[in-house]
Structure 1
């Protein structure tokens, strides 16, 4: 709504007030838009660019130029979800919150002090952030084996040879395949 609509009729006709409205209208529009966006910065899932910048500054995260908003939110959630002491249940909660219920597998071989984490191919862009999280929260006496959960034979079952022929070997192993693959 135009600023002039709030004024009495006699002020709307004055040239000086029309110029004043023209000068102040963009400022008020920008302030209103910022006010409507403010609730988005209350939750990490809906952070705006400005909200991400503020949280990155608060958490001491390096600014990655060219990263999209979803990746920045993920990095912020990764840092915010860290909590010690380390337990497998808590690590599972952290990874579920970041990668989703089906986005990872987690196994601990206590005899060999080996923690194995496999991320789903859909979480490929989160691999380095997940590695940083594990580096910060996993005790140093455990060896971490982190990699992607590539497509395997059971992933491709039910597909015809003709359907699989449309892909290269590299694509069959390394890419999220359409139709549930």
Structure 2
């Protein structure tokens, strides 16, 4: 009788992307598609990290500026700026989110031995947003924990706080 392999002992694939000079990775299983940056509708009274919404085949999809979400100021739209559409879950319901990134690089396969735990101090990204550090040749890829970095409930509460502050 054989048991199923532990998913943590298996190679995993990550979509690598850039925010400024930093490289990040997101588990490919959470990524639905990548689209070009285009027309976006701004929504009043939202925090800076909510850039607006897009129409994706008839669905309203909020777009999160990851640079702003990580406290690095608003992203500047360039030639390679794109939106990564990811699946997120809120209250047991699947929601699509758009993540505005400076550029998408490639899909990288990492063996379990290439993934280190997140650093215990320092860093410019909230530690709880980081699932680990992926070793790729001579550099590290910051592997995001989508359940934390893209926590819909936390972002919704920040939006509500922003609306209340502006209304006061």
Superposition TM-score, scaled by structure 1 size: 0.22
Structure with higher helix content:
1
Rg larger in structure: 1
Higher relative contact order (CA 8 A, sep 6+): 2
Structure with higher strand content:
2
Superposition TM-score, scaled by structure 2 size: 0.23
